[in-house]
Amino acid sequence: MEKDLPSGSGMLTVDLAKAAAEILQQHEARTVYLVDGYLRLPRVDRSQHPGEVVDEGNTRIKRWYNEDVTQIDYSGLRHEGLDASLEIGTLGFWVVMRLVDPTTKQVLGRARSMIPMFSGRQVQPPEQWDEAVRREMLTQCLTDLGLIAE
């Protein structure tokens, strides 16, 4: 049986996508469409890459993040003027994003933001990040991708 994303990761990325859409709409006169669901990443063959796979979930996300071409077929989306797609994930204490050309499937840019370290504050796993932390990390990634002004 194929294993999905680590527990809670799918819902978290959906929440992050919704928050990113809100941030984009607040900063620019952009039309933003949300696509329901999340990408099922391919399994990693441990027999071919035994030293590379310490945590399969993180290995899968690292491979997705580093690919130069997306696996997602955006041709079914019928939105007028759709010029880019934003793919969002989490990797450890990072939010990671890819900006993709939906026609060519080429990755146009990548960004990541690590959870901010506050003095006296214990670092929490992604599922426990509060809304302010999520928005700060998303805003940093969107700024790094040039989608919103600093």
Q: What is the model's pLDDT at position 81?
A: 74
| DSSP letter, residue 126 | G
Q: What is the model's pLDDT at position 143?
A: 95
Say if 70 falls within a structural domain. yes
pLDDT mean for each 10 residues of the chain (150 residues):
39 85 83 71 60 65 91 78 87 91 94 75 73 90 91
Say if 62 falls within a structural domain. yes
pTM: 0.78
Give, rounded to a whole angstrom, the gap between the first and last alpha carbons of the chain. Answer: 45
Number of separate domains in the chain: 1
What range defines the domain where residue 13 resides?
Answer: 9-144
Say if 1 falls within a structural domain. no
Say if 119 falls within a structural domain. yes
Say if 131 falls within a structural domain. yes
Rg (CA), the chain: 16
Phi and psi for 136 in degrees, rounded to 5? -60, -45
Phi and psi for 72 in degrees, rounded to 5? -80, 135
Residues near 41 by beta carbon (within 8 Å), at least 6 away in sequence: 5, 60, 61, 63, 64
Say if 4 falls within a structural domain. no
Say if 74 falls within a structural domain. yes
Q: What is the model's pLDDT at position 41?
A: 64
